[in-house]
Amino acid sequence: GENVEQHPSTLSVQEGDSAVIKCTYSDSASNYFPWYKQELGKRPQLIIDIRSNVGEKKDQRIAVTLNKTAKHFSLHITETQPEDSAVYFCAASKGAGKSTFGDGTTLTVKP
Amino acid sequence: GAVVSQHPSRVICKSGTSVKIECRSLDFQATTMFWYRQFPKQSLMLMATSNEGSKATYEQGVEKDKFLINHASLTLSTLTVTSAHPEDSSFYICSANRGRGGETQYFGPGTRLLVL
């Protein structure tokens, strides 16, 4: 089955700096890669996603890049703010919703 | 749109009792729903895929007789933890896909189960 590895497990940045989280996947048939943000005790919320026919997608301060050949994708957050502090999960899916999640990255943005 | 609710939000029960958790898609029909378990500071572990009108598909290592799943309608899936024990204490989250073959998962708010 699919295996998703996520790094780093924890990330601490100063407010205003950029944060990058990287994930690799094993199944070349995976074609949908969402990123979720989960605040303590709350549900995961989709923040951005990318499909395999696209190499990069951007939404304001958040961007995701995908390298299908190398089977890795990354989340980039620019101009970080304290409210960006949360756990971020990457996931890989072959469609129809069933996803394999990474282990999560705890992002702390220090004011 | 795409709101998923879960009930109850938290439950405390005695060892040996059964607990039912409901997952509802409020403004869309969900052919498929997923049940996850999440331990503190850990990732989401998929337990089973719930398909409307058919048997659930369980992930390896998940006891289907322990975690009963029913998906009786396009807006409701239930997870029953039977004869709960302290090791079943966890955060249970459901998610639903919007429409057939929909990719994006919309998560419920989760249910925190504590078994004494």
Tokens of A103: 């282990």
Query: Is the CB of residue A96 less than 8 Å away from at least one CB of chain B?
Result: yes
Residues near A69 by beta carbon (within 8 Å), at least 6 away in sequence = none
Under a CB-based contact definition with an 8 Å cutoff, are residues A90 and A57 in contact?
no
Q: Do A97 and B103 touch (CB under 8 A)?
A: yes
Query: Is the CB of residue A32 less than 8 Å away from at least one CB of chain B?
Result: yes
Tokens of B107: 């998560």
Query: Is the CB of residue B77 less than 8 Å away from at least one CB of chain A?
Result: no
Q: What is the pLDDT of residues B2-56, one digit of tens each?
A: 799 999 999 999 999 999 999 999 988 888 899 999 988 888 999 999 988 888 9
Question: Is A71 a residue whose pLDDT tops 70?
Answer: yes
What average pLDDT does the structure give for chain A?
94
* Of A64, A71, A86, A80, nearest in space to A16 by CA: A80
Show residues of chain B in contact with A100, CB under 8 Å: 46
- CA–CA gap between residue B58 and residue A33 (Å, rounded): 23
Q: Do B107 and A96 touch (CB under 8 A)?
A: no
Show residues of chain A in contact with B24, CB under 8 Å: none
Query: Is the CB of residue A34 less than 8 Å away from at least one CB of chain B?
Result: yes
Q: What is the pLDDT of residues A13-29, one digit of tens each?
A: 999 999 999 999 999 99
Q: Do A101 and B44 touch (CB under 8 A)?
A: yes
- Give phi and psi for A102, each to the nearest 5: -75, 175
